[in-house]
Amino acid sequence: MEKGGFRKDNKEAMLKRMKSSLTVEEAERLEETREHGQLVPGSWAYKIALRLDNVQQTVFKYKLDIEKTLWSIKNTSNAITRAKAQLDSGLITEKLKDDLVMNIDELRAHIEYMKWTQAVEVNQIPRVLGEIRMLTGHKNLIGEVIMTNEQFEQYVEDTIVKLKMLGFDLI
């Protein structure tokens, strides 16, 4: 028996059993999926298949989640600054849902609510970074590592810098 022959035979038997439990459509889809490995490197089909890699898309989505959270924290900081300026000047223009101008106590409560919202958002970033960390070292369709541990560490450092610019610490 040649080296790896048992594993290859076992793998083929498992694949045959799995295919027998699939519908015709699922089996056809499986064959289509396996054809991605036969795409011509550099072709548009190859580039698109690589871009649609599931793990790569997941990492991209998590990075977008962090960017959106950072943007939201910045936006909320700006709103807090505006609200505090209104509170200090006594010229309150913030409105309630029914288009009534807030009173001083409502504006103070609104500021506290926005601070609470920021704290919740900042607290979400380590969870999302943890999700990204679980995907480091995984390879895409062509066998390239999507994100190395070093790239992850650099991404965390960059995120910490952005948070500090907003006046927050990661942990």
Write out the DSSP string of 55-97: HHHHHHHHHHHHHHHHHHHHHHHHHHHHHHHHHHHS----B-T
Look at the chain and report how many structural domains it folds into: 2
Distances (CA, A) of 129 to 5, 59, 135, 157: 41, 10, 10, 11
In a domain, 120, yes or no: yes
**Could you tell me if 12 and 60 lie in one domain?**
no
For the chain, 171 residues long, give each residue's pLDDT as a single digit of tens.
455 555 667 777 877 777 677 777 777 776 766 655 566 778 887 778 777 888 889 999 999 999 999 999 999 999 999 999 999 998 998 988 888 999 999 999 999 999 999 999 999 999 999 999 999 999 887 788 999 999 999 999 999 999 999 999 998
**Could you tell me if 110 and 154 lie in one domain?**
yes
The pTM for the full model equals 0.70
**Could you tell me if 90 and 147 lie in one domain?**
yes
Q: Which of these, 163, 160, 169, 166, lies nearest to 80 by C-alpha position?
A: 166
